[in-house]
A and B are shown apart, each in its own frame.
Chain A
Amino acid sequence: MKQVIAVLTVLAAIVGLWYAACVPMNIKGVLTEQERAGAQVQPPSAKDRRDLGEFGLIAGNSFAIPATWEQARPRLPAPHQVAVEMWKTTVQKKITSKRSLIYHAWVTLSATMLGFVIGTGLGILLAVGIVHSRVMDLSVMPWAIVSQTIPIIALAPMIIVVLYSVGIQGILPKAVISAYLSFFPVVVGMVKGLRSPDAMQLDLLRTYSANGSQRFWKLRLPASMPYLFTSLKIGIAASLVGAIVGELPTGAVAGLGARLLAGSYYGQTVQIWSALFAAALLAACLVGLLGVIERSVLKRMGMAQ
């Protein structure tokens, strides 16, 4: 109960700050609208208003404060505006509608999942190779690290163009970008996990004359499971970012990235914010789901106490 109160307090503080921030962010636009509608605003000249700071404007026109939370195209939409937009574009729209956020989220989610599966598979394979081969350790690991220092926003258009030129389009290019971001945490985590058995445990298997594959399946792989799940949680969030970024440079018409892009073209800030929240919500659900799987797997393995 105490925790619930603490969490709600933090949430209320964030929402409060958000409402407060809306006032200076939107006051200029509101005053311009109000003046057009015939209201008396201080100072009356648009040029003077431009030179006056936001807080000066608020002080002179306190009557306009409520309107900063109700604009059609605010610089910063108020929380309830985003909530209403999300409600309208999820519950009140058919899932098949191009205006449904669920439809767009699904488009992004499918690319995310495909990319995540490719990235995880690739990451595990690379980690196995790195752990078992010194050559791969020396040659692959540096490239894996370098690959993550290139900004994905610069690389994404190239991946899409190159794949398009060989006739691949649709979900796959986005999934490739997703995989590109998600394989790395899996490689790092799995390398650490596969190497986690100590010398004594390896010696124990040597006393049984165990071979390499027995060592892998009976010791290294099960020992790496806790590390794998930690990596997967980071990986799936990175995957989602990859899918959204993959939607930006192509002018995609569907997906959360496309919603962000369309919103910024037409100044629909409410739409941008609701797409952002949808993405955050989606990421939270995915990470949460992995957490549930992690707990049940580790419990079944006897590793969660």
Chain B
Amino acid sequence: MNTESRAAAVIEANHLDLTFQTNDGPVHALKDVNLAINKGDFVSFIGPSGCGKTTFLRCIAALETPTGGSLTVNGMTPDEARRNRAYGYVFQAAGLYPWRTISKNIKLPLEIMGFSASEQEERVNKVLELVDLEGFGGKFPWQLSGGMQQRASIARALAFDADILLMDEPFGALDEIVRDHLNEQLLALWARTEKTIGFVTHSIPEAVYLSTKIVVMSPRPGRITDVIDSPLPKDRPLDIRDTPEFIEVAHRVRDGLRAGHSYDD
């Protein structure tokens, strides 16, 4: 394994391919994807729908199986990494169980992984505090707003202390104001926990605001067209979005998207 030479890479893809066999013939969801994500990175995947950004995230989570190339997570196969609780996954919808309170929802992975009752309690309190939901543990999901529900689902993904947080358009269904607020909170959370975060989005400002590394992807076949290391400082107030540096990065992302996107169909 060549992970020794690049010890800092927690997620590494080499010539990754994924082809779905459909009734209309093979679909190249991912083609020759090469990427290394280092520990503590905040990586955004951006691109139009069908570019394979979600598929790539699902490959990392071992929810899809690549048909070619190699992919390692913490130096293991994605399957082994999952069994070693390498990552927490946040979906586009909060997906909280309506029959469980917020606390019980956060306990779900802990129950499955066999944590003791007292440790479950302790961890729930810790992550509720991390996402600013203290005091809401006893509520049922329908009693919370959409933004709060999504925060609860992030808490659920953080509960078992995985080093990697994979987020698939987690704020896609929320309105702009709530989204800004959650983005700010997510950055604060990232600074506190020093997790490695993979974040799928199709919002350019969101990608630029959050990331240390922006991966621009394009469809048919799904591939990486540009990887941008953000020059922005780690400490980012919301109004950093008006600075020339921010606008320049956003511009480069937009160029990358335009270059990769064919409008001739």
Residues of chain A at the chain B interface (Cβ within 8 Å): 200-201, 203-210, 214, 218-219, 222-223, 225, 301-303, 305
Contacts and interface: CB of A to CB of B under 8 A. Distances in A.
A214 to B, nearest CB: 5
A208 B109 contact: yes
Interface residues of B, number: 25
Pairs A-B, 6 closest by C-beta atoms: A302-B140, A301-B99, A207-B89, A208-B109, A208-B112, A210-B112
Contacts of A207: 61, 63, 82, 87-89
Interface string B69-80: 000000000000
A284 to B, nearest CB: 29
A302 B102 CA distance: 11
Contacts of A206: 62-63, 82
Most buried by B among A200, A204, A222, A225: A204
B138 to A, nearest CB: 10
Interface stretch (B90-98, B118-126, B225-233): B90-98
A301 B91 CA distance: 24
Dominant secondary structure of chain B at its interface with chain A: loop
B166 to A, nearest CB: 8
A205 B89 contact: no
Contacts of B62: 206
A209 B82 contact: yes
Contacts of A305: 142
A203 B93 CA distance: 12
Given A206-B63, A305-B142, 15 more contacts: A200-B95, A204-B91, A205-B112, A207-B88, A207-B89, A208-B108, A208-B109, A208-B112, A208-B113, A219-B97, A222-B99, A225-B99, A301-B99, A302-B100, A302-B142
A303 B98 CA distance: 6
A197 to B, nearest CB: 9
B111 interface: yes
20 contacts: A200-B91, A200-B95, A201-B95, A203-B63, A204-B89, A204-B95, A206-B62, A206-B63, A206-B82, A207-B61, A207-B63, A207-B82, A209-B82, A209-B85, A210-B112, A214-B112, A222-B99, A302-B99, A302-B140, A303-B98
Interface string B123-163: 00000000000000000101000000000000000000000
A219 B96 CA distance: 11
B6 interface: no
Contacts of B112: 205, 208-210, 214, 218
A214 B110 CA distance: 12
Contacts of A223: 97, 99
B113 A302 contact: no
Contact of B83 (A209, A225, A302): A209
A225 B98 CA distance: 12
Contacts of A214: 112
B99 A303 contact: yes
Contact of B93 (A200, A205, A208, A302): A200
Contacts of B89: 203-204, 207
A229 to B, nearest CB: 13
Contacts of A219: 97
Contacts of B99: 222-223, 225, 301-303
B223 to A, nearest CB: 24
Contacts of B100: 302
Contacts of A210: 112
A302 B89 CA distance: 25
A205 B111 CA distance: 12
Contacts of B109: 208
Contacts of B88: 207
Nearest to A207: B89
Which of A204, A207, A210 is packed against the most chain B CB atoms within 10 Å?
A207
